Structure 1
Amino acid sequence: MQIVPLCEHSQHLTSLARAHLQAFGGLLPDWTLAQARAELASHDTPEALPTTWIALDGEDWVGSVSLLVNDDPRIDQYTPWLASLYVRPDARAAGTGASLVRHCVQAAAKLHIPRLHLYCQDALVPYYTRLDWQPHDRLPLGPLHVVVMAIEPGNPHV
């Protein structure tokens, strides 16, 4: 597996946008495939926010993660965000998600980001805790109550 910037592999834009829409569209009911694709296409440099990386297995993508200034305007009190972690069902439980999370945290450290956030539901808190993230806040987000987690990317213990 290799983790690479999506902007260098734009042939995967549409299929990744379709997967993101299916996985995350429930939080944004008016979000369209065209909007998802345009958002991902705007992630055009890996050295600045927003950016997205994909995990490649050979020539095919198996997962993705994004580094965003703002993941959702309803929770803009925290910034920046690890967002849209997605691993294709046939590639799960092989460490791809953890590798993508670590890659994003390392990229945030290179960008001198002091604190990085993500949000998830309660069931995923233990997963992220194993990756050195800490619960930071609990918030309503549309129909969900989410846990905002945080990590300090430059911390040598991460």
Structure 2
Amino acid sequence: MRIAPLCHSPQHLDALARTHVQAFGELLPAWTVQQARDELATHTAPDAIPTTWLALDGADWLGSVSLLDEDDPRLGAYTPWLASLYVRPAARARRVGAALVWHCVAAAAALGVARLHLYCEPARVTYYARLGWTRLDHLPLGALQVVVMAIEPGSPHV
């Protein structure tokens, strides 16, 4: 497995947009595949925010993660974000998600990000806590309750 910027593998753009809408559309019910594709298409620089990376196995993609300034306008108090972590079902339980998280955290550190955020459903808190993330807030986001978590990418503990 290798991790590479989406902008270096544009052949996966359409599939990733469809997958993101299927996986995360509950948070944004009006979000379309075209909107997701248009947003992902703006991630053109691998060493800047916003960007998206893919975990690749040969020509196939296993998962993705994004680094964004804003993940949801309703969460404007926090920035920047690790967002849209997704691992395809066949690749789960192979540490693909953890590798993507660590890649994103390292990229944020290289960009000088002091604190990186994510939000997740309460059932996922333990997963991220094992990776070094701490809980900051618990709040409603649309129909869901989410937990905002943070990590300090440049910290020697990371």
For the aligned pair, the TM-score class normalised by the smaller chain equals: over 0.9
Q: Does 1:87 find its partner at 2:80?
A: no
1:68-124 Cα offsets, whole Å, 9 max, x none, are 000000111100000000000111010000000000000000000000000001111
TM-score (norm 1): 0.99
For residues 100-115 of structure 1, what are the structure 2 equivalents within 5 Å?
100-115=100-115
Partner-residue secondary structure (3-state), 2:98: helix
Q: Using structure 2 for the length normalisation, give the TM-score.
A: 0.99
Mark the runs of 5 or more structure 2 residues left unpaired by the alignment: none
Q: How well do the aligned residues superpose, as a CA RMSD in angstroms?
A: 0.5
Amino acid in the other structure paired with 2:2: Q
Partner of 1:127: 127
In 2, the alpha carbon distance for the partners of 1:40 and 1:80 equals 16
Does 2:152 match 1:152? yes
Name the aligned partner's letter for residue 130 of structure 1: R
- Number of equivalent positions: 158
State the identity %: 68
Match of 1:66 in 2: 66
Structure 2: distance between partners of 1:106 and 1:124: 21
Gaps of 5+ in 1: none
Give, in angstroms, the shift of residue 142 of structure 1. 0.1
Structure-2 residue corresponding to 1:33: 33
State the match for 1:57 in structure 2.
57
Q: Which runs of 4+ in 1 moved over 3 A?
A: none
Q: 1:112-147 CA distances to partner (integer Å, 9 max, x unpaired)?
A: 000000000111101000000000111110001110
- Aligned AA for 2:94? A
DSSP 3-state at the match of 1:27: coil
What's the counterpart of residue 46 of structure 1? 46
